[in-house]
Amino acid sequence: MTKKIKFSRILIHLFLISYAITCLFPLLWMISTSLKSTSEVYTNKSLIPQSLNFENYIKAWTEGNFSIYFTNSVIYTISIVLGIVVVSTLAAYAFARLNFPFKNIIYYAFLMMMLIPIPGAFVPLYVLLVKLGIQNTRIGYILPMINSGLSVSIFILKEFFEQIPKELEESAVIDGCGKFQVYYRIMFPLALPAISTIVIFNALSAWNEYILAAVNFTDPNKMPVQQGLFIFQGQYFTRYELLMAATTITTLPIIMIYLSMQKYIVRSLTGAIKG
């Protein structure tokens, strides 16, 4: 009996490990290719490069303009996440605790936007950006991106605010705190666990976004990394060692953030299904 259990455990691990390799292999292959020289890419099929060759990275970073794309993406990601945190905490606090006209209708409108997909929203957004005269500007990208993260963030934060005991606010009000002070002195710091979830997820999606960037930017000096990859591939066509160096540059920050924050990420994802 115990032998049988032991045997099935080994089988389970074998299966899970082989799937883990399936997950990792394309990424390892990407890194391996990025470290090979041009001629080696076509001859050496081994996962381990003959020597570590960082020339592709230098070329992608300088000639391929990834120094610019990367900086842009950092700027966009930080601005978008900051915008989402400020706007969504304010709104979520109000939805959870304060009373105002049409509160429920407005909240359900936000919720509907989260649950109902609007395909092709990039078409009217493009028209709007042109109309507002902010197409091909940084702000024209940041503003709609802030909006796209709002509804889910408000939803998560509202649930969190509702679980905070009311006594804390009440005593603050007695001490003479106004609503806004209650929000940023008490509620905001208490909500930090939920806020960190929002920061991580919105940072990931801002960094990974492509379509809205493609619709908005025509000036290469303002493009984020994902759009940069597309441009870069157009320039170097089948030079896969260069392209893989560029995709590695684009992906590494994401993987690092994920591995350092994975505790938070998996926990909040497993919470999502109950929502």
List binders of another protein among 49-108 (CB under 8 A): 86-88, 90-91, 93-95, 98-101, 106
174 part of the interface to another protein, by CB under 8 A: no
Tell which one of 215, 223, 242, 245 touches another protein (CB under 8 A). 215
Binding mask 128-147 for another protein (x = CB under 8 A): x--------------xx-xx
Q: Please report how close the Cβ of residue 42 comes to another protein at its closest, in angstroms.
A: 5
273 part of the interface to another protein, by CB under 8 A: yes
Q: Please report how close the Cβ of residue 67 comes to another protein at its closest, in angstroms.
A: 18
Integer-rounded Cα radius of gyration of the chain = 24
Tell which one of 3, 4, 166, 274 touches another protein (CB under 8 A). 274
Q: From CA 240, how far away is CA 238, in angstroms rounded?
A: 5
208 part of the interface to another protein, by CB under 8 A: yes
Give residues 4-33 in contact with another protein (rule: CB under 8 A). 9, 12-13, 15-16, 19-20, 22-24, 26-27, 29-30, 33
186 vs 243, beta carbon nearer another protein: 243
Residue listed under structure tokens 């493609």: 214
173 part of the interface to another protein, by CB under 8 A: no
Contact segment (CB under 8 A) with another protein among 59-67, 159-167, 191-199, 245-253 equals 245-253
Contact segment (CB under 8 A) with another protein among 49-57, 74-82, 115-123, 160-168 equals 115-123
Q: Please report how close the Cβ of residue 97 comes to another protein at its closest, in angstroms.
A: 9
Instruction: Write the DSSP assignment of the chain as a string of letters.
Output: -HHHHHHHHHHHHHHHHHHHHHHHHHHHHHHHHHTS-HHHHHH---SS-SS---HHHHHHHHTT-HHHHHHHHHHHHHHHHHHHHHHHHHHHHHHHH---TTHHHHHHHHHHHHHS--TTTHHHHHHHHHHHT-TTSHHHHHHHHHHHHHHHHHHHHHHHHHHS-THHHHHHHHTT--HHHIIIIIIHHHTHHHHHHHHHHHHHHHHH--HHHHHH---GGG--HHHHHHHHHHHHTT-HHHHHHHHHHHHHHHHHHHHHHHHHHHHHHHHHTT-
Give residues 150-169 in contact with another protein (rule: CB under 8 A). 150-151, 154
Tell which one of 1, 52, 105, 116 touches another protein (CB under 8 A). 116
54 vs 210, beta carbon nearer another protein: 210
Q: Please report how close the Cβ of residue 27 comes to another protein at its closest, in angstroms.
A: 7
Q: Please report how close the Cβ of residue 141 comes to another protein at its closest, in angstroms.
A: 12
Residue 34 neighbours by CB under 8 Å, 6+ apart: 56, 57, 241, 244, 245, 247, 248
256 part of the interface to another protein, by CB under 8 A: no
Q: From CA 48, how far away is CA 20, in angstroms rounded?
A: 19
